Structure 1
Amino acid sequence: MSHVTTHVLDSGLGVPAAGILVALAGPTGEVIASGVTDADGRVAELGEEKLPAGDYRLEFETGPYFTRTSRRSFYPRVTVDFIVTDAAHYHVPLLLSPFAYSTYRGS
């Protein structure tokens, strides 16, 4: 069983990205948790439950964030697929700008 966390940093502005809706989908595609990034770009509670091994997806609704910050963007949403294999903590950050993004397995 594992636990998943995330946060979003706006690398274009050099600040945390607040107000982004994030959904966590499970192995069958159903949304099992969701939340909105806080002032620090983090989702305080993205599901309390420990997750069994399997394929998961984080979907970040970035379009409204860019609209609120008065910037045009190429990405209305960012989807990150990843695999949970063990009981480790899985931290999946998103570094975001209007025309690029990257992600990695954090700690």
Structure 2
Amino acid sequence: MKTKNFFIVLMLAIASVSFAQEAKYQLSSHILDITKGEPAPNVKISLSKQDLKGKWTLIDEKITDANGRIPDFLKETKEGNNNGIYKLTYFTEPYFTKLNQTSFYPFIEVVFEIKDGKHYHVPITLSAFGYATYRGN
């Protein structure tokens, strides 16, 4: 009887893992190097959140993938408690140094506010002497 119960518990555990939903994230980013017309891989991006007193707290740091993307900042929660003011810092100087280029911007900070449970995509288009950003999807 104990063996039968063990196998039932084991099968339920396997089934629950198999049917578990993948984690969803509320924030993503992307860097496109417009001088090359290609994504910017291996760029560190940090995410910080501002508290009520204006102090920034580091939440996460990640490196862009081969497509210049980070798809998984801010894990979604059922409570929807990700509202607040955030800052993405793009550390661009090492990227341009690897390309043997000088750059006007050693890093770029983009500040934005999350006000709801929707997905936020914050990309930048980048060159050594300029950048632009917008709210993507």
TM-score with structure 1 length normalisation? 0.92
* Partners of 2:26 and 2:119 within 8 A in 1: yes
RMSD (CA atoms): 1.5
Gaps of at least 5 residues in structure 1 are none
- Find the counterpart in structure 2 of residue 17 from structure 1: 40
* Partners of 2:27 and 2:72 within 8 A in 1: no
- Find the counterpart in structure 2 of residue 78 from structure 1: 108
Deviation at 1:44, TM superposition (A): 4.2
Residue identity opposite 1:70 in structure 2: N
From 96, 104, 125, give the equivalent of 1:66: 96
Deviation at 1:33, TM superposition (A): 1.3
Residue identity opposite 2:49 in structure 1: G
CA distance in 2, matches of 1:86, 1:47: 13
Asked if 1:42 corresponds to 2:69, the answer is yes
4+ runs deviating over 6 angstroms: none
Residue identity opposite 2:67 in structure 1: D
Higher relative contact order (CA 8 A, sep 6+): 1
Structure (1 or 2) with the larger CA radius of gyration = 2
Residue identity over aligned pairs, in percent, reads 40
Deviation at 1:16, TM superposition (A): 0.3
CA distance in 2, matches of 1:26, 1:67: 28
Gaps of at least 5 residues in structure 2 are 1-24
Matched pairs, number:
106
- Find the counterpart in structure 1 of residue 118 from structure 2: 88
